[in-house]
Structure 1
Amino acid sequence: MKLDMSKVILQKRKEKQITQQQLADFIGVSKASVSKWENGQTYPDITLLPLLASYFDITVDQLLSYSNNLSAEQIRKIYQSLANSFKDNSPEKVYKSFEEIIHRYYSCAPLILEMGQFLVNHGDLFPGDDKKDKAEKYLTEAQGLFQRVFEISNDPELLAKAKNFSAYCSLVLQKPDEVLHKLGQYVPEYYPVESLIAWAYQLKGENDKAVATTQSALFQYIAVMMSQLTNYLQLIVSQPQKFLATYQRGKQIIVAFSVKKLNPTIVINFLTSAAFGFAQTKNDEMVKQCLSEYVDLLEDVKFPLKQHGDQFFDQIDDWLAQTDLGDVLPRSDQQLKTDFVTIITQNPTFMSYQNNEEFKEIFERLERIKENLNE
């Protein structure tokens, strides 16, 4: 843990739009002293801290902001520990632990970013009765954490993630104008930097690293493509032919890359979206096909669920290890077990099918799966 006043002084001086000399004149020191403070070469005399804090309209504690140099692995462990704590602790106790972590590491930008994501992924499990009120409370709190990242970091990658996650919160909160303001009105042009990295390794004669880089890119492309198709299905429900064609193409990708084994949650989301769309158009035959395949997949899912490669993606372990959460998923296994069943059994769209004789076996199997998962 180390003091990080230099960034605070620099940031606050710029916010007030004053020069180093103007700050020096007010505090009664030389311009060189202010320069050294901002460069982290020296710290202000302790007797000057109250005057500095008052001038910047912040507390001394805020002035004495510290950064905790947590490693990526430490951050993952904190995230996973919190996610797993829902199993044996009350929502109130987990939320208190969450707040304590935020307070302790308030100047660790990577940790703050992950805690914002934690709220996005687990806010529904925190204290509160009304689902809508909870979403607004915790998503708004998450946006506050993403904004905090902008205040304490100048890392382009962290800032890009914070902006995107904040935009996602705005979308869930049904604030489309905020989303467009944050992200723009058009999809930005994409330049595949991963190809440059792979080529660079190839030029260095490190072909294994070039292969691993390309594999990690392809691994992500598949996840993104399936996510886009999952969302696209909901946009074209009113176009049955295009909907069916999209569903069929998604199924081809799933088979071609063994996505059921590679990442079953991707397929679960896709089948849910497809079944939902077919139900809206009263295509009961396709609803049954999707839900049957869904149940077949659930019966084969093995816990704990982790991101992993396979015989095709056989060189992505190092890449997975350096990602924000490593090989673990954002939701804990316990919550995923519940989500996988309730997303069907408690979805109003599928309620009417529960009394349909043709769907009886599907829902009976879901109940057995639910019992087995909770053992």
Structure 2
Amino acid sequence: MRVNIGPVLVSQRKKRGITQQQLADFIGVSKGAVSKWETGQSYPDISLLPALASYFDLRIDDLMDYEPQLSAKEIQNIYRSLKKSFTTEPGDKVLTTMRSFVRRYYACYPFLQQMGMLLLNHFDLLPGKDMQDKTAKYVSEAQQLFIRVRKNSDDTELKLRARNMEAYSLLLLNKPTEVLSLLGTTTPEYIPTENLIASAYQMQGKTEQAQAVYQSAMYQASSVGMSYFTNYLVLLNDDPDRFGETYQRGRAYADVFALASLNPAVYLNFLLSAVMGFAHQQKADEVFAVLTDYTDTLADTKFPLVLHGDAYFDKIDSWLDHLDIGSETPRNSEMVEQQLIGIVLNDPTLAPFRNDERWAPLADKLKEINQNAHE
């Protein structure tokens, strides 16, 4: 909750022509204590709140300017600030700040949802002995936030998102049985809400709004669909024929939606999955063909990443503004760039290909991209 008792005390005291000393004498504290309350350096003891409220003829909630919810823009700003802090502050300091926010806004469920997402997107940067230790600590912490949202929020859509992220947390914690128990064991029937919203706008004669809904739905679905191809490839490493066909279909899908420019992060993840799969199958020509596309795409991508439309998706700006964290990516995109480069340069899966004459030019280009990113 937000507690803004200081400005309320100043306003009420001046409105009635009362000095800090007079208020202090009535409450039974020092003038310095009142001064600290008004400047936000400290808060009155909870036992003093009824007397303060009575003195100014206010309800306690009005005295504290109590507001348990953050606006969407405030949530975006806090997430953005914490995300940026990972580039300038040690992880333990960012974690302390985040937990302080969580305690303060524990009744703001959209905010808790985003803090859970922050933990999932950055737990590797937080203190811990190793990745296993960090996963156990911080993914579990995120899971508890999602559980609180799922059990307590009245927002049906938010509860659904919290449930899904709880399931993702369970996957990271290597608890597949709990995932299936939470989500079920078959693909759920899907009735697209966006069709109903767009149809309602159309019936009202609001064609522009209906078009914007369909555009934002297709834009979002294109990225989700690309992730399906990425994850499916991982399951096909030992089935070269189906792997190759899935890769070709995924490339065609990405071309149709221009994902290399519209959402390069999801496209690069798809290419990386393809590189690792072809490497597993020891197909050098395919490895270097995909690596060339991967490197060229990285070179053409502008960081920091920001979600945006294009000449076709020209009505999605308002939708992007209303996303939980706006048009920015959940994780600091400069860190994403470094990881995308580092995986190719250092992953042992690609070790057998580093003596190939085709490797050096690509590695040099990736190193140049990385160097330019730090200038």
Category of TM-score, reference length = shorter chain: 0.7 to 0.9
Whole-angstrom distance in 1 between the partners of 2:173 and 2:88: 30
TM-score (structure 2 length as normaliser): 0.81
Specify the alignment match of 2:115 in structure 1.
115
State the Cα distance separating 1:67 from its structure 2 match: 5.7
Q: What SS does structure 1 have at the residue aligned with 2:328?
A: coil
Matched, 1:246 2:246: yes
State the Cα distance separating 1:354 from its structure 2 match: 2.6
TM-score (structure 1 length as normaliser): 0.81
Q: 1:78 to 1:87 in 2, by over 3 A?
A: same
Letter in 2 for 1:285: D
Map 1:264-275 → 2, pairs under 5 A: 264-275=264-275
Q: What SS does structure 1 have at the residue aligned with 2:132?
A: helix
Specify the alignment match of 1:190 in structure 2.
190
State the Cα distance separating 1:151 from its structure 2 match: 4.3
Q: What SS does structure 2 have at the residue aligned with 1:160?
A: helix
Q: Percent identity?
A: 43
Contact 1:260–1:267 (CA under 8 A) maintained in structure 2: yes
Post-superposition CA distance 1:15-37 (Å, at most 9, x none) = xxxxxxxxxxxxxxxxxxxxxxx
Runs of 4+ in structure 1 deviating by more than 6 angstroms, as ranges, are none
Map 1:194-273 → 2, pairs under 5 A: 194-273=194-273
Q: 1:289 to 1:188 in 2, by over 3 A?
A: same
Specify the alignment match of 1:157 in structure 2.
157
Letter in 2 for 1:300: D
Specify the alignment match of 1:40 in structure 2.
none
Post-superposition CA distance 1:133-171 (Å, at most 9, x none) = 111111001011112213432211111111100100111
State the Cα distance separating 1:250 from its structure 2 match: 1.0
Specify the alignment match of 2:374 in structure 1.
374
Count of matched residue pairs: 316
Whole-angstrom distance in 2 between the partners of 1:374 and 1:353: 27
Map 1:31-180 → 2, pairs under 5 A: 68-180=68-180
Whole-angstrom distance in 2 between the partners of 1:67 and 1:115: 19
Structure 1: gaps (5+ residues): 4-45, 48-65
Letter in 2 for 1:235: L
Matched, 1:345 2:367: no
Contact 2:2–2:104 (CA under 8 A) maintained in structure 1: no
Q: 1:216 to 1:346 in 2, by over 3 A?
A: same
Structure 2: gaps (5+ residues): 4-45, 48-65
Post-superposition CA distance 1:228-272 (Å, at most 9, x none) = 011011111221111111111111122122111111101100000
Letter in 2 for 1:128: G
Specify the alignment match of 1:358 in structure 2.
358
State the Cα distance separating 1:314 from its structure 2 match: 0.4
State the Cα distance separating 1:121 from its structure 2 match: 0.3
Whole-angstrom distance in 2 between the partners of 1:268 and 1:337: 10
Contact 1:87–1:334 (CA under 8 A) maintained in structure 2: no
Letter in 1 for 2:333: D
State the Cα distance separating 1:337 from its structure 2 match: 2.3
Q: 1:68 to 1:351 in 2, by over 3 A?
A: farther
Whole-angstrom distance in 2 between the partners of 1:279 and 1:70: 48
Whole-angstrom distance in 2 between the partners of 1:107 and 1:350: 48
